[in-house]
């Protein structure tokens, strides 16, 4: 069959608010990035409230995503994480089965990416730290960023430019290579 259903693979793009996640996804996506909304409330709470039609709409969390066809058999989805900490409940869903995550860093606001780094480490999600060189300006050397974030040496810390497709692709390549290293180590190969 020529139009077989492609196999989906997923990469999560995390980081603080306004660090360039949407730009990063947009630079490589085949389609205009789409937005999906999920209900903020826990499932059980939403059901409990069904009888009360007069109460305000439950809070929603919006996530932007794009996709890249990798040949005819694979479809790579890129999901930007919701920025605020209170939406971390959604991250579990996002990282489930993912290749891994790119944690985007704005060196002007290093602390904004702490929650993402912490989360990925705790959940054992393969990740790379990508320093976004805004306006082509790199304010801190990756080694300084590694030290400041206390990122272990086996985790790649690289420079990227979210506006440029080639830089985004190279960042994803670095992540996939890292994920392969992690997968081989876990398989004992």
Partner 1 sequence: MTSDDRDQFTALRVRPYLLTGGRTRSAVDLPLEAIVRSTTEGANRVGTLDHERKGIVELCMQPQSIAEISAHLHMHLQVAKVLVGDLITEGLLGSHATTTPTSARPDVALLERVLNGLQSL
Q: List interacting residues with partner 1 (CB under 8 A).
A: 3, 5-10, 28, 34-39, 43-44, 46-47, 49-50, 53, 57-58, 60, 63, 65, 67-68, 70-71, 73-77, 79, 93-94, 96-100, 126, 165, 169, 172-173, 176-177, 179-180, 183-184, 187, 189
Q: How far is the CB of 137 from partner 1 (least distance, A)?
A: 26
Of residues 101 and 131, the one with the C-beta less far from partner 1: 101
* Residue 178 CB neighbour total at 10 angstroms: 18
Asked if 142 contacts 133 with a C-beta cutoff of 8 angstroms, the reply is no
Of residues 15 and 66, the one with the C-beta less far from partner 1: 66
Q: How far is the CB of 92 from partner 1 (least distance, A)?
A: 11
Of residues 10 and 146, the one with the C-beta less far from partner 1: 10
- Mind giving me the DSSP string for 165-177? HHHHHHHHHHHHH
Q: How far is the CB of 121 from partner 1 (least distance, A)?
A: 15
Of residues 34 and 139, the one with the C-beta less far from partner 1: 34
CA quadruple 160, 117, 142, 105: dihedral, nearest 10: 40
d(CA 84, CA 17) in angstroms, rounded, equals 7
Q: How far is the CB of 108 from partner 1 (least distance, A)?
A: 29
CA distances from 24 to 44, 46, 104, 167, 180 (A): 35, 33, 9, 9, 22
Asked if 131 contacts 105 with a C-beta cutoff of 8 angstroms, the reply is yes
Q: How far is the CB of 141 from partner 1 (least distance, A)?
A: 26
Of residues 44 and 153, the one with the C-beta less far from partner 1: 44
Asked if 159 contacts 142 with a C-beta cutoff of 8 angstroms, the reply is yes
């Amino acid at each position: 069959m020529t139009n077989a259903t492609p196999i989906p693979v997923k990469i999560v793009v995390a980081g603080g608010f306004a660090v360039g996640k949407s730009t990063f996804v947009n630079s490589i996506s085949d389609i205009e990035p789409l937005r999906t909304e999920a209900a903020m409330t826990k499932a059980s709470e939403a059901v409990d409230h069904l009888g009360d039609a007069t109460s305000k709409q439950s809070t929603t969390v919006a996530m932007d995503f794009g996709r890249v066809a990798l040949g005819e058999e694979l479809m790579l989805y890129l999901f930007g994480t919701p920025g605020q900490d209170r939406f971390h409940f959604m991250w579990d869903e996002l990282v489930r089965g993912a290749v891994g995550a790119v944690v985007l860093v704005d060196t002007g606001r290093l602390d904004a990416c702490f929650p993402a780094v912490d989360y990925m480490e705790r959940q054992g999600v393969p990740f790379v730290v990508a320093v976004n060189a805004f306006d082509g300006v790199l304010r801190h050397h990756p080694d300084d960023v590694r030290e400041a974030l206390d990122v272990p040496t086996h985790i790649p810390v690289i420079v990227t430019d979210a506006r440029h497709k080639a830089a985004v692709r190279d960042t994803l390549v670095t992540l996939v290579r890292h994920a392969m290293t992690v997968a081989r180590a876990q398989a004992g190969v």
